[in-house]
Amino acid sequence: MSKHLKVLIFILGSMALMVACGAQASPAIPTLTPAPTPQPTATPEWQREGWNLVWHDEFDGPDIDHDNWKFDIGGNGWGNSEAQTYTDRPENARIEDGMLVIEARQERFVNQDHTSARLKTQGLQSWQYGRIEARIRIPEGQGIWPAFWMLGDSITTVSWPTSGEIDIMENIGREPQMIHGTVHGPGYSGGNGIGASRYLAGEPYSADFHEFAVEWEPEEIRWYMDGIPYFSLTPADVPGEWVYDQPFFILLNVAVGGLWPGYPDESTVFPQRMLVDYVRVYQTQQ
């Protein structure tokens, strides 16, 4: 075999070996998947640091939850010479768009010329101490009297005002930029209740939703509007017995007329609606 032929055979053999080696798959280099960035768990909007939510109604169902609410019925003036009959009709209280609607109407019903609704948790739910709050858009107009308030469970045995009353929010229509927080007890009730007012600059309270709350402890009650404290009360501040050491239940209502707000006039537009987004009760974490 000639020298040149040997060289040619060597070259061809080397090329074949290189092709064979190239046909083998190169070992795959693993791709590193980056660890996902931990995402914080969304905090439910009803959570509050330092508080446990013990009861709430978000009004998300199709109807008013009768495990949470009862109705006061009647048109007897309710001790304030009010001009409405309270009913449990859907015309006066219902759920719409995830909110409780309490509607005051101008219509003859029973012995009054107006109707409305007053809901309460009496006999179903009551609490002693905690943070009680609601997000509400109040109605407006002369003679319209919306309220978010509480009464002592003992009212069935000792009557008012010995039972105690905590008004978390009241408004009277002739004061569209003012809400009131008050307590009533033995020796300081009615026009002598102890409280304070919160003025809203720029627009009436009826223009938007606001959160109204109290934080109630054994020796102090504090009032808040949109998270801002505006009044506090201790036993030393009342000229009578401190009766806020028992369970209280919640009420929501829109009255029409009465000795304090006065009565509707030609400027008052009906119907008027109070919209309640939620009611929540918290107690401190132990």
The string of pLDDT tens digits covering residues 227-256 is 999 999 999 999 999 999 999 999 999 999
Q: Which residue has the tokens 């914080």?
A: 40
Which pLDDT score is estimated for 38? 58
CATH of domain 58-284: 2.60.120.200
**Interior/surface letters 226-249, b for 16+ CB within 10 angstroms, e for the rest:** eeeeebebeeeebebebbbeeebb
Residues designated catalytic: 165, 170
Read off the pLDDT band of 286 (50, 70, 90): low
Say what the pLDDT of residue 47 is. 84
- What does the pLDDT read at residue 49? 86
Measured torsion, CA atoms of residues 124, 122, 147, 88, in degrees rounded to the nearest 10: 80
- The mean pLDDT value for 269-278 works out to 98
Q: What is the mean pLDDT of the chain?
A: 89
Predicted confidence at residue 28, as pLDDT, reads 52
CA–CA separation, 178 and 210 (whole Å): 12
Q: Which residues on neighbouring strands pair with residue 147, listed in sequence order?
A: 170, 253
Q: Which two tokens stand for residue 41?
A: 């768990």
The pLDDT confidence band at residue 46, using thresholds 50, 70 and 90, is confident
Q: State the Cα–Cα distance between residues 31 and 191, nearest whole angstrom.
A: 77
Cα–Cα distance, 242 to 144 (Å, whole number): 30
Q: Is the pLDDT of residue 279 over 50?
A: yes
Percent of the chain with pLDDT over 90: 82
Per the DSSP assignment, residues forming a β-bridge with 94 are: 101
Q: What's residue 34's pLDDT? A: 59
Whole-model pTM: value is 0.85
